[in-house]
Structure 1
Amino acid sequence: MSHPRKRRSGVLVLFLLLAALVAALAVGALGWQRYQAFADGPLGGLEAGGSITVERGDSLPRVIDRLRAAGVTGGETYEWQLLGRQLEAASRLHVGEYALEPGTTPRQLLMAMRQGDTIRYRFTLVEGWNTREMRAALARANPLVQKTAGMTAGELMEALGHPDEHPEGRFLPETYVYGRGDSDLDVLRRAYADMERALAAAWEARDPDTKLKTPYEMLVMASIVEKESAVAEERPQIAGLFERRLKIGMRLQTDPTVIYGIGEDYDGNIRRVHLTTDTPYNTYTRDGLPPTPIAMPGVGALQAVANPAPGDSLYFVAVGDGSGRHLFARTLAEHQANVRKYLQNYRQRVSGMDRAGESR
């Protein structure tokens, strides 16, 4: 028979063990709640447009230190490390720049770093730009690393791995996405490769009766069509007109090539002296195509040159109403009549703009 005092002592021990267990569970629950609140609560000290960069070789503690140095608040180091292990992110941080917008939680940030969801920037190469305009725009692109500043055209193409090529027209006009740390050479390599693919596709799909002998000649012609056509649906018609001129041995006589030959001295006005002054790009004084493209043609211009529209027009002139459209003609007499229409429309448009200015 057990002693009553021993039974009371056993009950007390059991009670104390249960109390300790309950206390431990309560502490654990509070700790878990705090951890969850940290993991899914917004970080403090964030401002719109903020970011953090993970560099090559960075550990999670190094990233946490960088967050602290940037004034970001929230969580203890051990909580960050626990969350990093839970998300399998601690050893899988991707290099790059990550957004720190107000409302960002530690879980969102570490998941972004694990998946490489970096901030992406955009740079657009515009159809019809020449190399000088392209390089000026690249120099203004932020935060693109500038590696080509001061390079000559030859040095640029050598850096891209194409030392024997002229750069004009070699880059496809598109919007290119890049991240912090990427350079202008990175963007240009992609634009060059994209143009190579687009040109190859256009050449493969070309009209078998084309006068153009090589893909490069197609690139040159497409650059002219690009500069002459402000309206996309007119490109095949303009391409067909130039194709017919080549076939009958007629000079292209296109102003954009003359302007390109003038270069940086062009002041916005093309004069008779420009049309009669011989340069390698003056298609009024020289037969056939100019020696290089005069701009970056887009896919639409390449496709138009590959499959030009049939017809019999040999001349064209702007409508003159500001629409960018053209009047096409089969004979010189028809063309001269269209030129008179252009002048009439142009004068009416300018007069209307002057009256609108006076009314203001």
Structure 2
Amino acid sequence: MLRIGALLALIAAIVGAVIFAWGWYGAAEIEEETPFVVSSGSTLTSVARDLENDGIIASADAFLLRAKVLGGGDPIQAGEFLFEPGISQADILDKLQSGDVIRRFITIPEGMPSIMVYERLMAEDLLTGEIPVPVEGSVLPDTYDFERGEERAAVLARMQAAMQNYLAEAWPKRGNDIAVDNIADAVTLASIVEKETGVARERRMVAGLYSNRVKKGMLLQADPTIIYPITRGKPLGRRIRQSEIAAVNDYNTYTMTGLPKGPITNPGRESIAAVLNPADTDAVYMVADGSGGHAFATTLEEHNANVEKWYALRRERGEM
């Protein structure tokens, strides 16, 4: 009888252990993807209560007991998590401990001026805190991930660190006899290239043209440098006025030689690379060609002929 009793007790213990383990490794309560936020400073006990209140687990007490017996001892991480249907309580704890948070993304396109970078970050409701308008040219256009509740300042810092890291990598690869002798001027010239063409294949050619003008001491005559002091780089929304072309300031390259006092936007990698390794060209003039690109010329006579072709095309389109 003692042997039978001991055997039954052993069987009961095994069954109990199986049931106990099944509650840990079996599926949780949810039937659809469910987001869950862990605030900074939360404890495993408070998180277990929140899991129960949100209907993700059936019992906080059972979860805590199984976590102590079967779970790892690592602390839980703050952030926003996504739990899938059929996830086990063991996997829930593993996610919480590993910091497998939901990653969200914000994109800064090439040529977005800093005032618009500021507005985009401030408009993201899932970010927190205040930031100043970043220094023009300090942000590397790219797609960046962030977590719910993250500080805007932290996201901006990553964007600016990415620019510094890219410049540190790109500057040593610059060509010989380029038009600029420091990184800051390279970013300024690249910002003009970025705003002057949206055609990837033209970037090095446009960079070569403006590099030639810088070297020759010519007026750069880049329209975006007229617009920048007016809108801080936002679209002007109308044609440039003659009074604005004649305005004298630190940016208008129609009334000053050399580079403006700083960047007029945040240039992307390709525009920076184009300035550091521009096309080998004698071109010093360009005008739109009607296809989204430009016609380039080495003499004023050639340029005037290209301008006449552009005007004829605009008249044909009813634009003049």
TM-score by length of 1: 0.80
Answer yes or no: is 1:31 the counterpart of 2:1.
Answer: no
Identify if the C-alpha distance between structure 1 residues 76 and 134 changes in structure 2 by more than 3 Å, giving closer, same or farther. closer
Does structure 2 retain, via aligned residues, the 8 Å contact 1:283–1:290?
yes
Correspondence for 1:6: none
Correspondence for 1:274: 244
Indicate the SS of the match to 1:93: coil
Answer yes or no: is 1:317 the counterpart of 2:300.
Answer: no
Does structure 1 retain, via aligned residues, the 8 Å contact 2:30–2:86?
no
Aligned partner (choices 62, 84, 95) of residue 101 of structure 1 = 84
- C-alpha separation in 2, matches of 1:297 and 1:132: 14
Aligned partner (choices 285, 291, 303) of residue 255 of structure 2 = 285
Aligned partner (choices 35, 47, 54) of residue 63 of structure 1 = 47
Identify if the C-alpha distance between structure 1 residues 290 and 306 changes in structure 2 by more than 3 Å, giving closer, same or farther. same
Percent identity of equivalent pairs: 34
Q: Deviation at 1:304?
A: 0.7
TM-score by length of 2: 0.90
* Of 226-235 and 340-349, the range deviating more from structure 2: 340-349
Encode CA deviations 1:61-117: one digit per residue, 9 max, x unaligned: 22101112223233562344323542314x421222211333332122111122121
- C-alpha separation in 2, matches of 1:69 and 1:214: 59
Identify if the C-alpha distance between structure 1 residues 256 and 229 changes in structure 2 by more than 3 Å, giving closer, same or farther. same
Correspondence for 1:261: 229
Correspondence for 1:179: 147
Indicate the SS of the match to 1:50: strand
AA in 2 matched with 1:282: N
Correspondence for 1:334: 302
- C-alpha separation in 2, matches of 1:32 and 1:347: 86
Backbone CA RMSD of aligned residues: 2.3
Does structure 2 retain, via aligned residues, the 8 Å contact 1:51–1:101?
no
AA in 2 matched with 1:219: V
Answer yes or no: is 1:72 the counterpart of 2:56.
Answer: yes
Encode CA deviations 1:32-51: one digit per residue, 9 max, x unaligned: 33233322333224653522
Aligned partner (choices 44, 53, 57) of residue 38 of structure 2 = 53
Identify if the C-alpha distance between structure 1 residues 269 and 102 changes in structure 2 by more than 3 Å, giving closer, same or farther. farther
- C-alpha separation in 2, matches of 1:350 and 1:65: 69
Correspondence for 1:190: 158
- C-alpha separation in 2, matches of 1:347 and 1:35: 82
- C-alpha separation in 2, matches of 1:278 and 1:144: 40
Identify if the C-alpha distance between structure 1 residues 339 and 61 changes in structure 2 by more than 3 Å, giving closer, same or farther. same
Correspondence for 1:20: 5
Does structure 2 retain, via aligned residues, the 8 Å contact 1:54–1:93?
no
- C-alpha separation in 2, matches of 1:341 and 1:42: 71
Q: Which runs of 5+ in 2 are unaligned?
A: none
Encode CA deviations 1:101-159: one digit per residue, 9 max, x unaligned: 333321221111221211111122211011111011001223111322xx4x5xx6xxx
Identify if the C-alpha distance between structure 1 residues 327 and 77 changes in structure 2 by more than 3 Å, giving closer, same or farther. same
Answer yes or no: is 1:240 the counterpart of 2:225.
Answer: no
AA in 1 matched with 2:175: D
Answer yes or no: is 1:44 the counterpart of 2:29.
Answer: yes
Q: Deviation at 1:347?
A: 5.5
Encode CA deviations 1:266-302: one digit per residue, 9 max, x unaligned: 3343233322222321111111111110000111111
Identify if the C-alpha distance between structure 1 residues 313 and 222 changes in structure 2 by more than 3 Å, giving closer, same or farther. same
Q: Deviation at 1:344?
A: 4.1
Does structure 1 retain, via aligned residues, the 8 Å contact 2:52–2:59?
no
* Of 175-184 and 249-258, the range deviating more from structure 2: 175-184
* Of 269-278 and 169-178, the range deviating more from structure 2: 269-278
Correspondence for 1:86: 70
AA in 2 matched with 1:281: Y
Answer yes or no: is 1:202 the counterpart of 2:170.
Answer: yes
Q: Deviation at 1:20?
A: 2.2
- C-alpha separation in 1, matches of 2:166 and 2:317: 38
AA in 2 matched with 1:239: A
Does structure 2 retain, via aligned residues, the 8 Å contact 1:46–1:100?
no
- C-alpha separation in 1, matches of 2:115 and 2:180: 27
Indicate the SS of the match to 1:316: strand
AA in 2 matched with 1:43: A
- C-alpha separation in 1, matches of 2:109 and 2:68: 43
